[in-house]
């Protein structure tokens, strides 16, 4: 019995000691922050420390590449390390400008290359293992079979009305329209929703969903140089333009009342008598955009296919004229029809008004202003006639036109 009592007492002591082990660990007990014997040292989040590696350098275009479009950038990248130096030169030793990014992971050229040139890339870097590495690569740019140029309307520095589309005219047809759109960079402040629409294979316009807001700043960068726009067809040179959207001027010419109402920034400022197209020469109905403004301009029916010396032809000089369409629709001064203005339509399709009112219109407005013709008895304005962009509903516009 005494032996049993001793065993029980010994067990109670052991339980008492075990029940106190939730306090500070004893010096002999390992803690979670200490590696077990023979184990790998780990960080506080239990993930292994990254192993040092040699830097991996890569160049685009690839080494020995040929027929590279000179509008494409050269890039040099570093993985598992950083770039320390990059030098790119052409066959004549002329350097290509560029810069290494602040994080040291990428170098990119900052200027276009030349056609039919060979370039050499020398790049150096350092890996996370601290060891240097270098790379040399070369490539050649394409010799273009044909080059294509582009012009931009409006031009740099102009202030235009709220209806002005951005029109791009190429010197020949563009087979790769997606590549062309990618090269035409448009920036606006504030940002607006807009899209491209191809009227012809060599003509594309960009316009916002709704009329521009006055004060909008527009920057156009037609960066077509060196870009492949079709089989062996490359852009010749870039075009740039910075444009400001002016005040909102809208004229509504009504063929039924023979009156034109003009508003500025949505406030009616004047109503003037007019005369529009007579029978068989009805002015097309629709939303026009003022294309150009002229003074002392000769109105010539021959510009739209009617010889001046034929029946119905004319060649008349006017003091003020603003073009509304390529087919010959203008608003212009017409002192010879003052009696008919406000009473009957007697023109060959143009909007006649007094010299005083025509001059006033040009003074308050600019190219890009909206000019609406309604109740004229004429057919609808064709969207391709001049800048009839607003004749195309947005749902149709975003489909891109003649792709």
- Number of domain units in the chain: 3
Cα–Cα distances in angstroms (integers) from residue 80 to residues 50, 52, 55, 131, in the given order:
10, 8, 5, 11
In a domain, 266, yes or no: yes
Q: What is the DSSP letter of 337?
A: G
In a domain, 369, yes or no: yes
In this structure, the answer to whether residues 382 and 256 fall within a common structural domain is yes
From 149-158, 220-229, 300-309, 388-397, the region with the lowest mean pLDDT: 300-309
Rounded Cα distance between 346 and 258, Å, is 11
In a domain, 21, yes or no: no
From 7-16, 41-50, 166-175, the region with the lowest mean pLDDT: 7-16
In this structure, the answer to whether residues 224 and 294 fall within a common structural domain is no
Dihedral of alpha carbons 41, 47, 48, 54, sign = negative
Question: Residue 291 pLDDT > 90, yes or no?
Answer: yes
Half-sphere exposure of 337 (CA within 13 A, CB side): 24
Q: What confidence score (pLDDT) does residue 145 get?
A: 93
Q: What confidence score (pLDDT) does residue 303 get?
A: 67
Cα–Cα distances in angstroms (integers) from residue 367 to residues 47, 209, 252, 321, 403, in the given order:
66, 19, 16, 12, 28
CATH number at residue 61: 2.60.40.3780
Task: Summarize pLDDT for 105-142 with one digit per residue, the tens.
Answer: 999 999 999 999 999 999 999 999 999 999 999 999 99
Q: What confidence score (pLDDT) does residue 403 get?
A: 80
Residues in CB range of 18: below 8 A, 6 or more apart:
none
From 162-166, 257-261, 308-312, 341-345, the region with the lowest mean pLDDT: 308-312
In this structure, the answer to whether residues 255 and 338 fall within a common structural domain is yes
Q: Quick one: how far is CA 26 from the chain centroid?
A: 71
In a domain, 166, yes or no: yes
Q: What confidence score (pLDDT) does residue 237 get?
A: 96
Task: Summarize pLDDT for 39-86 with one digit per residue, the tens.
Answer: 444 445 566 778 999 999 999 999 999 999 999 999 999 999 999 999
In this structure, the answer to whether residues 310 and 380 fall within a common structural domain is yes
Task: Summarize pLDDT for 174-228 with one digit per residue, the tens.
Answer: 999 999 999 999 999 999 999 999 999 999 999 999 999 999 999 999 999 999 9
Q: What confidence score (pLDDT) does residue 306 get?
A: 67
Locus of tokens 């000089």: 317
CATH number at residue 184: 2.60.40.3710
In this structure, the answer to whether residues 290 and 221 fall within a common structural domain is no
Range of 225's domain? 146-245
- Domain termination site, one of 245, 267, 295: 245
In this structure, the answer to whether residues 297 and 170 fall within a common structural domain is no
- Domain termination site, one of 245, 269, 299: 245
Rounded Cα distance between 111 and 223, Å, is 12
In this structure, the answer to whether residues 117 and 203 fall within a common structural domain is no
Active site residues: 332, 350
Name the token pair of 396: 């149709």
Cross-strand pairs, 230 = 233
- Strands, sheet with 159-160, edge to edge from the N-terminal-most edge strand: 159-160, 239-245, 217-222, 184-189
Whole-prediction pTM: 0.81
In this structure, the answer to whether residues 253 and 384 fall within a common structural domain is yes
Q: pLDDT-based confidence at 353, cuts 50/70/90?
A: very high
In this structure, the answer to whether residues 115 and 171 fall within a common structural domain is no
Q: What confidence score (pLDDT) does residue 223 get?
A: 96
**What mean pLDDT do residues 22-32 have?**
39
Rounded Cα distance between 155 and 124, Å, is 44
In a domain, 190, yes or no: yes
In this structure, the answer to whether residues 240 and 259 fall within a common structural domain is no
- Domain termination site, one of 103, 123, 141: 141
- Strands, sheet with 233-235, edge to edge from the N-terminal-most edge strand: 146-148, 233-235, 228-230
**Count of Cβ atoms closer than 10 Å to residue 25 Cβ:** 10
């Amino acid at each position: 019995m005494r032996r049993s009592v001793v065993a029980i007492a010994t067990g109670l002591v052991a339980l008492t000691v075990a029940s106190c082990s939730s306090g500070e660990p004893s010096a002999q007990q390992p803690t979670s922050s200490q590696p077990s014997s023979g184990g790998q040292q780990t960080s506080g989040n239990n993930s292994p420390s990254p192993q040092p590696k040699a830097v991996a350098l890569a160049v685009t275009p690839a080494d020995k590449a040929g027929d590279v479009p000179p509008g494409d950038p050269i890039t040099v990248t570093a993985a598992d390390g950083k770039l320390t130096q990059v030098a790119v030169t052409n066959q004549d030793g002329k350097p290509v400008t560029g810069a290494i990014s602040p994080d040291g992971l990428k170098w990119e050229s900052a200027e276009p290359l030349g056609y039919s040139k060979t370039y050499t890339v020398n790049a150096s870097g350092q890996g996370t293992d601290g060891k240097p590495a270098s790379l040399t690569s070369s490539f050649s740019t394409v010799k273009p079979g044909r080059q294509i140029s582009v012009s931009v309307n409006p031009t740099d520095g102009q202030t235009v009305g709220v209806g002005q589309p951005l029109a791009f005219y190429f010197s020949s047809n563009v087979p790769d329209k997606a590549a062309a759109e990618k090269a035409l960079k448009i920036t606006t402040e504030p940002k607006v929703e807009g899209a491209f629409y191809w009227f012809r294979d060599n003509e594309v316009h960009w316009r916002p969903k709704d009329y521009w807001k006055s004060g909008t700043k527009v920057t156009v960068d037609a960066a077509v140089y060196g870009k492949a726009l079709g089989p062996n067809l490359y852009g010749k040179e870039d075009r740039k333009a910075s444009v400001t959207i002016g005040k909102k001027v809208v004229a509504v010419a009504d063929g039924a009342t023979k009156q034109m109402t003009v508003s500025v920034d949505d406030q009616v400022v004047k109503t003037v008598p007019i005369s529009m197209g007579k029978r068989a020469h009805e002015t097309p109905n629709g939303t026009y955009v003022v294309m150009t403004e002229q003074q002392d301009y000769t109105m010539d029916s021959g510009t739209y296919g009617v010889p001046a010396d034929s029946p119905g032809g004319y060649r008349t000089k006017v003091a003020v004229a603003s073009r509304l369409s390529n087919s010959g629709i203008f608003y212009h001064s017409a002192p010879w029809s003052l009696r008919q203005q406000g009473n009957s339509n007697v023109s060959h399709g143009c909007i006649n008004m007094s010299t005083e009112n025509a001059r006033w219109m040009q003074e308050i407005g600019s190219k890009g202003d909206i000019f609406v013709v309604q109740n004229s008895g004429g057919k609808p304005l064709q969207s391709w006639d001049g800048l009839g962009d607003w004749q195309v509903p947005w749902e149709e516009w975003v489909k891109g036109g003649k792709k």
